[in-house]
Amino acid sequence: MKFSVTVTLKKDVLDPQGKVVQNTLINMGLSDLKSIRQGKHFEIEVDEKDETTAKKKVDVMCKKLLVNLIIEDYKISKI
Partner 1 sequence: MKSTVIVFPGSNCDRDVAVALEKMQFKNQMVWHKETKLPKSDLIVVPGGFSYGDYLRSGAIAGKSLIIDEVIKVANSGCLVLGICNGFQILTETGLLKGTLLRNKNLKFINKDIHIKVLNNKSKFTHKYKKEQILKINIAHNEGNFFTDTHHLEELEKENLIAFKYCDEKGDINEQSNPNGSLNNIAGIFNSNKNILGMMPHPERMIDDLISNKDGVNLFSSLLN
Partner 2 sequence: MKITSQIIEKHGLKLEEFANIKKLLNREPNLLELGIFSAMWNEHCSYKSSRIHLKNLPTKGKQVIQGPGENAGVIDIGDNDAIVFKIESHNHPSYIEPYQGAATGVGGILRDVFTMGARPIALLNSIHFGSPEHFKTKSLLNGVVSGIGGYGNCIGIPTVAGETKFNETYNENILVNAMAVGHAKKSKIFYSKAKGLNKSVVYVGSKTGRDGIHGASMASAEFDENSEEKKPTVQVGDPFTEKLLMEACLELMKDNSIISIQDMGAAGLTSSSVEMASKGELGIELELDKVPCREENMTPYEMMLSESQERMLIILEDGKEKDARKIFEKWDLDFVIIGKTTNSNNLTLKYNNKIEGEIPIEALASKAPIYDRKWIKKKKPKKSEINLKDLKKVKIEEALIKILSSPNHSNKSWLTNQYDQSVMCDTVLKSGSDAAIIRIHNKDKAIAVSVDSSANYCKSHPITGGKQIVCENWRNLITVGAKPLAITNCLNFGNPENQEIMGEFAECLLGIKEACEFLNYPVVSGNVSFYNGTNKKNIFPTPVIGGVGLIKKLSNPLNHIFKRENSLLILIGKTFGHLEQSCFLKENFSISEGMPPEINLLNEKNNGESLLKLIDENLILSSHDVSNGGLITALSEMSISSNYGAKILKPKKLTNLFKYFFGEDQARYIIEINSNNLPKVEKVLKESDVYYENIGFTQKKYFEIEGELKISTKDLFKINNEWYNNF
Q: Which residues bind a second copy (CB under 8 A)?
A: 4, 6-8, 21, 24-25, 28, 30, 32-48, 57, 60-61, 64-66
Restricting to residues 23-52, name those near partner 1 by CB under 8 A: 24, 28, 38
Q: Is the torsion defined by CA of 52, 56, 58, 59 positive or negative?
A: positive
Q: How far is the CB of 13 from a second copy (least distance, A)?
A: 14
Q: How far is the CB of 63 from partner 1 (least distance, A)?
A: 12
Q: Is the torsion defined by CA of 53, 75, 72, 44 positive or negative?
A: positive
- Binding partner at 4 among partner 1, partner 2, a second copy, none, C-beta below 5 to 8 Å by kind: a second copy
**What residues have CB less than 8 Å from 57, skipping those under 6 apart?**
46, 48
- Find how far residue 78's CA is from the centre of its chain: 14
